[in-house]
Structure 1
């Protein structure tokens, strides 16, 4: 098992694997209402079986080099995560995403964790384009996209049906040369 430090505050990024299904479910229960405002993850992870199945689907994606999921821990407690919902190494594209429970908001955890996985995808896996699709109403996630140096490409009007309503989705992205330029400048 390995962990990647996310800074001096003791936060860590670790793979979120099927054997952590119970911990993942407890985390989801703590943040279910908050996380579920914009993403369907809490609707997919409702009991131990669905938690295990969700994490197993990402283990299979990782084995096929088609996606990844990582948890964010603070003080030994799972508080959120980042993922590559999709990853197509052959075409050099990936879609990143995130979630966070209320107790961990406002500490820069998602931004730091997303930087780690995007850097890995670009530098280690040769990904050229990383997308970030976000509900137009999800200001915190849009702020993360901005902090990551992403460019807003447009709005997919009413493209996401969630809990009986249609939502606009913003598409943000960063290209490998842009990512490298921002990293060199900082």
Structure 2
């Protein structure tokens, strides 16, 4: 297995780096700082998010990475952690589902867009992935814009697919075949 994403430059001081246990505490702090905003779209963005949960999630993602089932990445700007980008990989189906979020202060700088392009290119070239999906809340316009800028096509809307707290939201399903 190729491990090209221990660090990958995105230009303009941006980079992707493999998440590991050294990123767990900074990722927890960043997530906590963005919880109010993330709760509008993410079921995992719960009010009592514990530091131990972030470490446990990181361990799970690293195990999945070792098995070729995940690519858990940190988005960096100037060496500081500013977001997350990951892929859940299904090698049998040659497919991957991408997910991402970034600190509010770093939105609009192209980091997520460049990161998505880099991950698609890497997984297609190094892992033979041919189909990519992004699922995002219909009302998450910024996330939808990333999917559209990176060449994903809207394939449909999944009614009530996201549960966030007591609410259910429709999900926009974007696909890309390379």
Please tell me the TM-score bracket, short chain as reference: over 0.9
Q: Paired residue for 2:43?
A: 40
SS in 1 for 2:92: coil
Higher RCO (C-alpha 8 Å, min separation 6): 2
How does the TM-score come out when normalised to structure 1?
A: 0.88
Contact kept? 2:43, 2:163, Cα under 8 Å: no
Could you list the runs of 5+ residues in structure 2 that have no partner in the other structure? Answer: none
Could you list the runs of 5+ residues in structure 1 that have no partner in the other structure? Answer: 177-186
How does the TM-score come out when normalised to structure 2?
A: 0.92
CA distance in 2, matches of 1:19, 1:128: 32
CA deviations 1:30-73 (Å, max 9, x no partner) are 21212222113432982221110011111011111111210111
Q: 1:18 aligns with which of 21, 27, 33?
A: 21
Structure 1 residues 44 and 64 mapped into 2: Cα distance closer, same or farther (>3 Å)? farther
Q: Give structure 1 regions of 4+ aligned residues with deviation exceeding 2 angstroms.
A: 40-45
Q: Paired residue for 2:77?
A: 74
The alignment status of 1:63 with 2:39, answered yes or no, reads no
Q: Paired residue for 1:134?
A: 136
Structure 1 residues 40 and 141 mapped into 2: Cα distance closer, same or farther (>3 Å)? same
My pick for the range that moved more, 35-44 or 126-135, is: 35-44
CA distance in 2, matches of 1:45, 1:80: 20
Q: CA shift at 1:76, angstroms?
A: 2.2
CA deviations 1:127-186 (Å, max 9, x no partner) are 11000011000000000010011111100111221110110001101001xxxxxxxxxx
